[in-house]
A and B are shown apart, each in its own frame.
Chain A
Amino acid sequence: MMRTLIYPLICLLVSSCASINSVSLTPIPPTRNAPVRAQKSRVIFLGLNFDNDFVDGVVDELRRQCPNGKVTGLLTKDETINYFLFFVYKKQVTANGYCVPNAPMNSKPKTTRVSHLDSELLGQANGSSNEAI
């Protein structure tokens, strides 16, 4: 009986349990033709972890996948995957987003908060009506 139970018990102990620590999402663009994804993780034994520098690699990877654009609609997931009673666990950061190509230099700038404010100030300074952006 014990032998019958011990194998499923070992399987339960060594199977992974995944849980989320935090989630965040940035504004999603209308053009979603180019998804990008980056994932970095670190396996930690007995809680001995002396830095979290592995997270910095996520941004570098996203920039590599989107060299001439802006990564937006970024879903960032911070999760913990426990392998064995928290003696061995993995910290994983995953980022999924979309690469939006940058507008060419001589085209009209996109609407942003800053340009919106600037155009209102320009309109006031020049005495003209605000230009629709």
Chain B
Amino acid sequence: MKQFKIWLPIFSTIAFAGCAHSLHMTHVSDSALSHAEYSKSKAIEARSEQFSFLGFTTDTDYVDQAYSKLAKSCPNGSIEGITTEYSTDLGFLSWTNIVNMRGLCTMQP
């Protein structure tokens, strides 16, 4: 019982301290794909992160980087049904801001 009282706070700390995330917003864009085009489309994804120590960050260029990466993943096609997520991985005195963009790449006939 005494050992349980010692280990319970330690296990609780380990269990709840790590891997906490906070999803701030999700946006799903319009999609003009018919069912046939959707079946032929390719799912693509672009993700970028920004590490922040105590909130000292001077720009938000990681968002533009995710946008460029997504556009480059489908160089000659259109990208529809884009899901944009902005979230944060919480950490010790620091956090990581994440922008994740997923879409459907369709090639023009």
Contacts and interface: CB of A to CB of B under 8 A. Distances in A.
Chains A and B belong together in one complex = yes
Contacts of B103: 27-28
A103 interface: no
Interface residues of A, number: 26
A59 interface: no
Contact of B29 (A19, A27, A79): A27
Contact of A15 (B27, B29, B56): B56
A23 B78 contact: no
B76 A30 contact: yes
Interface string B51-79: 00001111110011001001100101111
Contact of A77 (B31, B57, B60, B78): B60
A52 interface: no
A16 B79 contact: no
B78 A20 contact: no
Interface residue SS majority, chain B: mixed
A69 interface: no
A96 B79 CA distance: 16
Sorting the interface of chain B by its residue count into under 10, 10 to 19, 20 to 34 or 35 or more gives 20 to 34
Contact of A26 (B30, B56, B63): B30
Contacts of B74: 28
Given A28-B71, A28-B103, A17 B29 contact: no
B64 A24 contact: no
A30 B34 CA distance: 17
29 contacts: A12-B56, A15-B56, A18-B58, A18-B60, A20-B24, A20-B97, A22-B24, A22-B25, A23-B63, A24-B29, A25-B67, A25-B101, A26-B29, A26-B30, A26-B82, A27-B30, A27-B32, A27-B79, A27-B81, A28-B70, A28-B74, A28-B78, A28-B79, A32-B71, A73-B71, A75-B63, A77-B63, A79-B60, A116-B32
Interface of A: 12, 15-20, 22-30, 32, 73, 75, 77, 79, 96, 111-113, 116
Interface of B: 24-25, 27, 29-32, 34, 55-60, 63-64, 67, 70-71, 74, 76-82, 84, 86, 97, 99, 101, 103, 108
